[in-house]
């Protein structure tokens, strides 16, 4: 073994926490974090969410909102028209993500200033 190299034993490796795995399986999907972040400000109609998240398609927004509802983070309420309106709001569990999302946003501003490079501006 060369100087400075360390021996790594597989048994020494730690396992990722099951909770972290589940969180990132849900929130790690593209657009999910921004959707939850927008909803932390309060309930929003579908069209408002679409406008608040540049680049997201209607289909993707619908799919992600369906996933978030199935996970118990978002509630979908339909108001009969005319016009028919659909409002989304965070559940208690969804709203509880706000402090973590805020911390991630602060971290990103500090370390991912250009959106590309880890390690700062």
Per-residue pLDDT of the chain (121 residues; tens, 9 = 90+): 555 555 556 556 788 788 888 888 888 899 999 999 999 999 999 999 999 999 999 999 999 999 999 999 999 999 988 888 999 999 999 999 999 999 998 998 888 876 555 555 5
Q: Which domains does the chain have, with CATH numbers?
A: 39-116 (1.10.10.10)
pTM, rounded to two decimals: 0.77
* Alpha carbon 74 to its chain's center: 12
Between CA 44 and CA 40 the distance in angstroms is: 10
Largest CA distance in the chain: 74
Neighbour-count burial of 92, counting CB atoms closer than 10 A to its CB (0-12 exposed, 13-18 middle, 19+ buried): exposed
């Amino acid at each position: 073994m060369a100087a400075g190299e360390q021996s790594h034993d597989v048994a020494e490796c730690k396992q990722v926490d099951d909770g972290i795995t589940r969180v990132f399986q849900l929130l790690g999907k593209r657009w999910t974090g921004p959707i939850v972040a927008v909803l932390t400000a309060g309930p929003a109609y579908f069209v408002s969410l679409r406008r608040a998240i540049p680049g997201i398609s209607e289909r993707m927004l619908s799919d992600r909102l369906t996933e978030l509802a199935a996970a118990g983070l978002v509630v979908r309420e339909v108001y009969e028209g005319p016009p028919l309106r659909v409002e989304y709001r965070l559940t208690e569990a969804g709203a509880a993500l706000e402090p973590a999302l805020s911390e991630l946003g602060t971290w990103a501003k500090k370390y991912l200033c250009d959106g590309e490079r880890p390690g700062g501006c």
